[in-house]
A and B are shown apart, each in its own frame.
Chain A
Amino acid sequence: MNVILKDFIALTKPRIISLLLVTTVAPMYVAGTPSWVTVLVVTLGGYLMAGGANAVNMYLDRDIDDVMARTKLRPIPSGRMHATAVLAFGVGIATAATWMLAAFVNVLSAALALAGFYFYVFIYTRWLKRSSPQNIVIGGAAGAFPPLVGWAAVTNRVDLSAIYLFLIIFYWTPPHFWALALNKQRDYGNARVPMAPLVWGERETIDQMWWYSVLLVALTLLPVTFGTFGVPYLVMAGLLGALLLQGVWRVRTAADFVKPAWWVYGYSLLYLALIFVAMVIDRRLPS
């Protein structure tokens, strides 16, 4: 019983979702002052929607999960769960999330969350993941929906500030995932997933990581110019961004990129979470 429950939880990829939830809830406190009930429903709905997308992803990728070292212990390839049950579970909890958000928050947040689900399942997993080296560039949009959901949950609209939050995650995705792909090339090669380092080569990928990071850091500072955030955020985002750029520069200049790339992979997770925390701190500072 305990094992089954653990497998169901594993299907939702809880570690990945924790960052998604930070990027969902933080924008709620940037956009306004939500009630704790709204935050609770959005958190639960967000978890179920992202968990559903992850479960369906595991169903669709069950063939390649079996040949990749880091995924072959997942419930389907290890034989602990039946593929159809995983699909039903994923669709079921995503449906529940849609209903929950529409009924208790608003229709716009439910529609945005569902759009993120469809984008992840059909655009990223089904279409781009195995066919394009830019899979995570365009596919990164799927992970960028959570701030829109959080923003819409509070304001019932999407404005320029919300689009910035979306784009920050969109442009954060390539340097983050390519840092992982650089060190997992053999795995991706075995599964015949055309990640950029395998198709474009390491140098070109690292070059793009650098320019995507430059773009990302500049993008994080721009909301200050139209008054969404103030000087405290500018300072925090600037410092966090400088550290990210330093890390990617080390990947670019080191003779052996393995260690710096692992550092960038880990730090970029922290970077994204702290950027969103900095937004909340800035907005919550006493006037």
Chain B
Amino acid sequence: MRCGANALLPSPASPATCCPPCHLPPPQPTPRDLLPLFWTCASLIVIAQVMILRSTRRAFRGGAEAKREAMNPEAGLTGTARRGQSAALEWAFAVGPAVAIAFLLFFTWRAASRPPVMEVRFDGLPVSQSEPAPRP
């Protein structure tokens, strides 16, 4: 756990030595601070994924088959190329990762916007923090 994330309850391994002069932890980004980063990255990912799908569609429309035939002017050297995939399967290859990314963004948003967990020390002092990912 990063210093300051739970500064009122220092771990035995790291006694309260975060900022010795003022005894205040250095400011750490809270989940609320990080939401703009999430939305920025998510937007970039969505835009990039849409552009990849558009490019793939252009590539199919652009006479992919003709280019494939023209791929090797010295055709017959090896004769190893197998029959191409169907268009539907090629689309599945393009759309599959996009669907996976959509699920990933949903689960990431859920993890990033988790409400803060209120921990209470045995002496009654509240330690408010969002549950961080386990750190070694």
Identify the A interface with B (CB < 8 A). Answer: 29, 31-33, 63-64, 67, 130-134, 137-138, 160-161, 163-164, 167, 170-171, 189-194, 196, 198-201, 204, 207-208, 211-212, 214-215, 217-219, 221-222, 224-228, 230-231, 234, 283-287
Q: Which of B40, B47, B71, B73 has the most CB of A within 10 A?
A: B71
Is B51 close to A, CB under 8 A?
yes
Tell me whether A222 and B80 are in contact in the complex, defined as CB-CB below 8 angstroms, given that A189-B72, A214-B44, A215-B52 are known contacts: no
Are A286 and B14 interface neighbours, CB within 8 A? yes
The secondary structure that dominates the A interface is: helix
Closest chain A residue, CB of each to CB of B53: A211
For the A-B complex with A167-B101, A221-B41, A287-B11 known, give 14 more contacts whose Cβ atoms are closer than 8 Å.
A33-B136, A130-B82, A132-B84, A161-B133, A199-B67, A199-B71, A204-B58, A211-B49, A218-B48, A225-B35, A225-B37, A225-B112, A227-B131, A231-B28
Q: Which of B35, B59, B73 has the most CB of A within 10 A?
A: B59
Are A226 and B133 interface neighbours, CB within 8 A? yes
Identify the B interface with A (CB < 8 A). Answer: 1-3, 11, 13-14, 28-29, 31, 34-35, 37-38, 40-42, 44-45, 47-49, 51-52, 55-56, 58-59, 62, 64, 67-68, 71-75, 77-85, 89-90, 93-94, 96-97, 100-101, 104, 107-108, 111-112, 114, 130-133, 135-136
CA distance in complex: A225, B81 (Å): 45
Are B112 and A194 interface neighbours, CB within 8 A? no
Residues of A close to B40: CB separation below 8 A? 218
Tell me whether A204 and B62 are in contact in the complex, defined as CB-CB below 8 angstroms, given that A160-B111, A192-B75 are known contacts: yes
Closest chain B residue, CB of each to CB of A126: B82
CA distance in complex: A211, B94 (Å): 13
* B13, B29, B97, B108: the one within 8 Å of A222 (CB): B108
Residues of A close to B93: CB separation below 8 A? 132, 134, 137-138
Tell me whether A194 and B68 are in contact in the complex, defined as CB-CB below 8 angstroms, given that A204-B58, A218-B48 are known contacts: yes
* A31, A191, A207: the one within 8 Å of B55 (CB): A207
Interchain residue pairs with CB less than 8 A apart (30): A29-B136, A31-B136, A32-B136, A64-B78, A67-B77, A67-B78, A130-B82, A131-B82, A131-B83, A134-B90, A138-B96, A191-B78, A191-B80, A192-B72, A192-B80, A198-B71, A200-B62, A204-B55, A204-B59, A212-B52, A214-B47, A214-B48, A215-B45, A215-B52, A221-B37, A226-B114, A283-B135, A286-B14, A287-B1, A287-B14
Number of A-B contacts (CB under 8 A): 164
Residues of A close to B111: CB separation below 8 A? 160, 225-227
Are A218 and B81 interface neighbours, CB within 8 A? no
Residues of A close to B45: CB separation below 8 A? 215, 218-219
Are A200 and B64 interface neighbours, CB within 8 A? yes
Q: Which of B79, B130, B136 has the most CB of A within 10 A?
A: B136
Q: How far is the CB of A202 from chain B (nearest CB, A)?
A: 11
Q: How far is the CB of A199 from chain B (nearest CB, A)?
A: 5
Tell me whether A222 and B2 are in contact in the complex, defined as CB-CB below 8 angstroms, given that A132-B90, A200-B64, A228-B133 are known contacts: no
Closest chain A residue, CB of each to CB of B58: A204
Residues of A close to B34: CB separation below 8 A? 224-225
Are A224 and B58 interface neighbours, CB within 8 A? no
* B44, B71, B79: the one within 8 Å of A194 (CB): B71
Are A211 and B48 interface neighbours, CB within 8 A? yes
Q: How far is the CB of A182 from chain B (nearest CB, A)?
A: 14
Are A222 and B41 interface neighbours, CB within 8 A? yes
Q: How far is the CB of B45 from chain A (nearest CB, A)?
A: 5
Q: How far is the CB of A71 from chain B (nearest CB, A)?
A: 12
